Amino acid sequence: MQTPSLSTLGTVGLWVTALASPCCFPLLAVGASALGLGSFELFGGWTMYVFQALVLLSVAGTAAAVRQHGHWGPLAVAAGGAALIMSAYYLDFSLPRVYAGMVGLLGAAAWTHRLTKSTMNQPLVLQSRLTCPTCGHQQTETMATDACQYFYECPACRTVLKPKPGDCCVFCSYGTVACPPIQQGQACC
């Protein structure tokens, strides 16, 4: 079973917060009233802070998903939506700008979900071409499916490669294909 991404959780959370706070989001008051939330204030005086935290969670989740699917478009849309929302709160308040940002974050979450889903349905690629940063030698290697490779000795110059900061293994740092756990959308070993 696939767990929802942070971008999905953040986006769903901010929409639920908005629906449950019709006094803060009057355009959504009709939908909230239809759901029986007409006079319900979900977080009391904290609604706007919770809402903004969920906006940031949505953008952070979209940024994390870029590593999995490799597309920067959803992050650009999410960042634009977040910028609209934050500028509406901190520069000059504009409810239409907040709504536009919410729609942008919803679109980015849907786009991320679609890209992640298509990435999950692809077969694993177990061959990756490692390139030595010291001598430029390239070697095609087969990746293990049950473990990450933290060290690799270049057959040409004998330099021992280690993962770059933020990467989990040598294939993610120096290979043409990310390691199997990353391909499957999981945390690395």
pLDDT along the chain (189 residues), means of 10: 64 79 73 64 73 89 81 93 94 92 91 76 86 96 87 96 92 91 72
pLDDT, residue 142, reads 94
Question: In the chain, where are the structural domains located?
Answer: 6-120, 127-183
Residue 163: CA atoms inside 13 Å, Cβ hemisphere, count?
Answer: 15
Residue 116: its pLDDT value, please?
A: 75
Instruction: Give the closest residue to 1 by CA, choosing from 186, 126, 189.
Output: 186
Radius of gyration of the chain (CA): 22
Please state, in angstroms and rounded to a whole number, the distance separating the CA atoms of residues 183 and 179. 6
Whole-number Cα distances in Å, 61 to 30, 51, 55, 139, 183: 30, 15, 10, 34, 17
DSSP secondary structure string for all residues of 21-41: -TTT-GGGHHHHHHTT-TT--
Could you give the maximum distance between any two Cα atoms of the chain, in Å? Answer: 71
Model pTM?
0.60
| Res 3: pLDDT | 45
Please give the single-letter amino acid code of residue 107.
G
Tokens of 19: 């629906």
**According to the model, what pLDDT value does residue 189 have?**
61
Q: What is the pLDDT of residue 2?
A: 45
How many angstroms from the chain centroid is the CA of residue 120? 14
Q: For the stretch 20-43, what's the b/e string if a residue is b when 16 or more beta carbons lie within 10 angstroms of its beta carbon?
A: bbbebbeebbeebeeeebeeeebe
